[in-house]
Amino acid sequence: MTDNSKSTRYLAPVLLACAAVAPHAAEQQKQQQPLTIDRLFDAPALGGPTINALKVSPDGTRVTYLQARADDKNRLDLWEFSIQDKHSRLLVDSKLLSPTQVVLSDEELGRRERQRTAALTGIIEYSFAPSGNALLFPLDGTLFYYDLRKPSNEALLKVTPTHTTTTDASVSPRGEYLAYIRDQNIQLYDLANRHTKALTQDGAGAVKNGMAEFIAQEEMDRSTGYWWAPDDQHIAFARVDETLVKVTQRFEISADNVTTFEQRYPAAGETNAQVQLGVVDIHTGATVWMDLGKDRDIYLARVNWLPDGKTLAIQRQSRDQRKLDLLFADISTGKSRAVLSETSGTWIDLHDELTFLKDSPQFIWASSRSGYRHLYLYDYDGHLLHPLTAGSWEVDDFRARAIKAVDEKRRLIYFTATEKNPTERHLYRTSLDTRDPLHVTRITQEAGLHSINMAPDAKFYVDLFASGQQPAQVSVNDAEGIRISYLLENRLDATHPEAPYLSDNAIAEFGTLKAADGQTLHYKVFKPLHFDPTRRYPAIVDVYGGPSVQRVIDNWNGAAFAQILTRTGYVVFQLDNRGSAFRGSAFQAPLHRQMGNVEVIDQIQGARWLASQPFVDPTRVGVWGWSYGGYMALMLMFKAPEVFRTGVAVAPVTDWNLYDTHYTERYLGRPQDNAAGYAASSVLPYAKDLKGKLLVIHGMADDNVLFANSTKLFRKLQDLGKPFDIMVYPGAKHGLSSPQDSKHAYATIKRYFDENLLR
């Protein structure tokens, strides 16, 4: 289970408008307008032009990105920015190329749901040819190849027939071939001969070739199941066999029908898919299977090629997730050897920070062995040469890989980290030959979140920057941090979509509290419109609280609903409890073996602090959250009924036996080995203590946090004779991603609080 604020990948929906008011913009605005929930979801986006999937071309000549249309903020087109002439142009108009939206396959719909792109249409993903001369993208089921060297009227090649089901397309490293998945097999397309052939044949039913299984997509941040060799001669691929995974009957209840799906859902403690790793010769079709060890009950976490094209780097994670092995495998024989291993007494978080140097037999690896995630330099025999970074902070990007570029000629590495402040992200550099890992050089200076895409030669970078004072802004900068030009300035002036609302927006105030064990808890609070310190206001705790997530950050995104609430007269409070991400192992570890304990303790402490403020009415405190946040909202309502008067739980987990293996077992272990921990982590034993008003909201076609979680709670509360309220959404998945459902859900949440806290 992950939260939508990262990369692209978190469960609680992120609203792209929000946060703080820039004073100069407020002074310029001509007329204030009321902010409505409908306006949060309507075009144009309140935060300004929405840019996604920024990429610097491999040849460093252009920056490409997906941008929402002015008339439809959920439909994306493909754009490019020329580094030479510093101008942007539309490359592909998705509506012109595909004017009518098609019905996508169940496989594609599920993939988008797990990538948190289900609400988007148009072009939602693309990839570069390694030469930088071409782009590849799917659009409404059709695969297109765009040759950037040709005139725009000749540039597009339709690779697959219209509305066929193809996923996960890529261009080979030398640019001669394309690969994609169709009918659960890997297809190879020869660009010169315009010919397609299947590289695998047995994909069908429970067997999938080249595809990431549900667990990999949902919980391991791995959305692909195949990997090109650097010389175009081989493809490594996962063969997933879900035969032994328990088949569950999942009902998707729509407005006018009920559909039954047989879903292979590996619930905690049950059997996972069997995964093999093969390497296929693209010419002969011969496959060599890699040795992943005798224990087959493992996770294939990551796969990379070494620069020689003859060796695979395989990350193998144990079922209990306390051990991660890096294997090197010879693709001619399949024989593997362990290069290094990471172990933990709790769990090991997966990462993508593995980079092989091209000019020397060395690689960069990330580890949390010091208590914080840092970078280390190794040789090919697994010998540690020296640490590259160190300190009480983490190497992290918040949205993508932290390692941005390696300049081997100058022996420099560029990366993003929390060194300045855990609520911010900045770009840093250090030497590959450093002897002082505590010393790193910060390049970005402006306070906030800097998400970086760097040119392969490390001569410039693109900075997607946002803060509480600035919505998403994109600039091109040289390697020293000097701005070359704006790609998107997104200035908060009188013409900005947010301008009519800015003067009424609440400014986030940041602060810290001390947890019971002495660790620092970061919070932020939004105060009501026309705040009067002599008044006592109702307050709402906006909670997520789950692991691998951070909410309290200096960012423009994510507080749009808070602005609606503050306008109504609420104080809104967010706190990152212990267990939250990017604060080090000791901060996360208290969740081990029992969830819904220390997180609840910290949130109760935060709520008590909030209620003690002279401007808060302690008798009118509410809480709401989504997914893990929904779980937390229930726990808080049940465990602290004297604190919380009203709660709203959206798509909550109620019994961890119903959730999947990789996520749940990471923290709780298997139910067979920790029955007491599972019982204590369920909300059901505490439901008897509900005293306040409770609303539970759930999509009736949720394939992530299954609807059974809520129905199990309904039955429990009914058996206890407890009054509560329900709002369900026919046909809706976990994110309630349709604008209609989203608008209705947020309006329902607000109405519920208004009815129970304003009085």
What is the spatial distance between Cα 478 and Cα 180, in angstroms, rounded to a whole number? Answer: 36
Check whether 5 has a pLDDT greater than 50.
Answer: no
Q: Do 152 and 201 fall within a single domain?
A: no
From the number of C-beta atoms within 10 Å of its C-beta (0-12, 13-18, 19+), residue 612 rates as exposed
Check whether 9 has a pLDDT greater than 60.
Answer: no
What is the spatial distance between Cα 205 and Cα 262, in angstroms, rounded to a whole number? Answer: 12
Residue 165 has what pLDDT? 79
- Biggest CA–CA distance in the chain, Å, is 79
Question: Does residue 751 fall inside a structural domain?
Answer: yes
Question: Does residue 344 fall inside a structural domain?
Answer: yes
Q: Do 700 and 563 fall within a single domain?
A: yes
Residue 259 has what pLDDT? 84
Check whether 636 has a pLDDT greater than 90.
Answer: yes
Q: DSSP secondary structure string, 610-646?
A: HHTSTTEEEEEEEEEEETHHHHHHHHHHHH-TTT-SE
- Cβ–Cβ < 8 Å for 621, 628: no
Q: Do 209 and 139 fall within a single domain?
A: no
Domain that residue 244 falls in: 196-348
What is the spatial distance between Cα 439 and Cα 444, in angstroms, rounded to a whole number? Answer: 16
The tokens of 419 are what?
Answer: 């060194």
Question: Does residue 390 fall inside a structural domain?
Answer: no
Q: Do 578 and 678 fall within a single domain?
A: yes
- Cβ–Cβ < 8 Å for 637, 654: no
Among 94, 627, 682, 710, the active-site one is 627
Residue 30 has what pLDDT? 44
Residue 14 has what pLDDT? 31
Q: Do 166 and 205 fall within a single domain?
A: no
Check whether 626 has a pLDDT greater than 70.
Answer: yes
Question: Does residue 561 fall inside a structural domain?
Answer: yes
- Cβ–Cβ < 8 Å for 488, 474: yes
Residue 23 has what pLDDT? 41
Question: Does residue 660 fall inside a structural domain?
Answer: yes
Which residue, of 320, 348, 376, is where some domain finishes? Answer: 348
Which residue, of 348, 364, 392, is where some domain finishes? Answer: 348
Residue 594 has what pLDDT? 96
The tokens of 212 are what?
Answer: 């990431």
Check whether 11 has a pLDDT greater than 60.
Answer: no
pLDDT tier, 755 (very low <50, low <70, confident <90, very high otherwise): very high
What is the spatial distance between Cα 347 and Cα 327, in angstroms, rounded to a whole number? Answer: 19
Q: DSSP secondary structure string, 541-559?
A: EEE---TT-----S-STT-
Q: Do 128 and 246 fall within a single domain?
A: no
For the chain, counts of helices (H) and of strands (E): 13, 44
CATH of the domain at 224: 2.140.10.30
Q: Do 203 and 306 fall within a single domain?
A: yes
- Cβ–Cβ < 8 Å for 720, 616: no
Among 60-74, 84-98, 121-135, 285-299, the range of highest mean pLDDT: 285-299
Pairing of strands 167-171, 156-158: unpaired
pLDDT tier, 141 (very low <50, low <70, confident <90, very high otherwise): confident
Phi, psi of 234 (to 5 degrees): -140, 160
Hey, which bits of 127-190 come out as E strands?
127-128, 134-139, 142-147, 156-158, 167-171, 177-182, 185-190
Residue 29 has what pLDDT? 42
* Mean pLDDT (whole number) for 312-326: 98
- Cβ–Cβ < 8 Å for 417, 440: yes
Count how many domains the chain has.
3
pLDDT tier, 70 (very low <50, low <70, confident <90, very high otherwise): confident
pLDDT, tens digit (0-9, with 9 covering 90-100), for 679-735:
999 999 999 999 999 999 999 999 889 999 999 999 999 999 999 999 999 999 999
Among 396, 702, 703, 741, the active-site one is 702
pLDDT tier, 163 (very low <50, low <70, confident <90, very high otherwise): low
Q: Do 729 and 594 fall within a single domain?
A: yes
Check whether 18 has a pLDDT greater than 50.
Answer: no
Active site residue 352: no
pLDDT, tens digit (0-9, with 9 covering 90-100), for 255-310:
888 888 788 889 999 999 999 999 999 999 999 999 999 999 999 999 999 999 99
Question: Does residue 176 fall inside a structural domain?
Answer: no
Question: Does residue 23 fall inside a structural domain?
Answer: no
- Cβ–Cβ < 8 Å for 358, 408: yes
Among 374, 426, 662, 734, the active-site one is 734
Least confident of 112-121, 164-173, 248-257, 464-473: 112-121
Q: DSSP secondary structure string, 440-465?
A: -EE---SSSEEEEEE-TTSSEEEEEE
Q: Do 148 and 232 fall within a single domain?
A: no
Check whether 545 has a pLDDT greater than 60.
Answer: yes
Q: Is the backbone peptide bond immediately before 230 cis, with ω within 30 degrees of 0?
A: no
Q: Do 79 and 141 fall within a single domain?
A: yes
Percent of the chain at pLDDT > 70 equals 93
Check whether 27 has a pLDDT greater than 60.
Answer: no
CA 272 to each of CA 215, 519, 593, 661: distance values in angstroms, whole numbers, following the listed order: 9, 36, 21, 8
**What is the sign of the dihedral through the CA atoms of 715, 717, 721 and 727?**
negative
The average confidence (pLDDT) of the chain is: 92
Check whether 548 has a pLDDT greater than 80.
Answer: yes
Active site residue 702: yes
Question: Does residue 357 fall inside a structural domain?
Answer: no
Q: Give me the residues paired with residue 170 across strands.
A: 179
Q: Do 137 and 215 fall within a single domain?
A: no
- Cβ–Cβ < 8 Å for 110, 703: yes
Q: Do 683 and 634 fall within a single domain?
A: yes
Phi, psi of 705 (to 5 degrees): -90, 100
Residue 4 has what pLDDT? 43
Q: How many residues does the chain have?
A: 759
* Mean pLDDT (whole number) for 398-424: 95
Check whether 15 has a pLDDT greater than 50.
Answer: no
Check whether 64 has a pLDDT greater than 60.
Answer: yes
Which residue, of 296, 326, 348, is where some domain finishes? Answer: 348
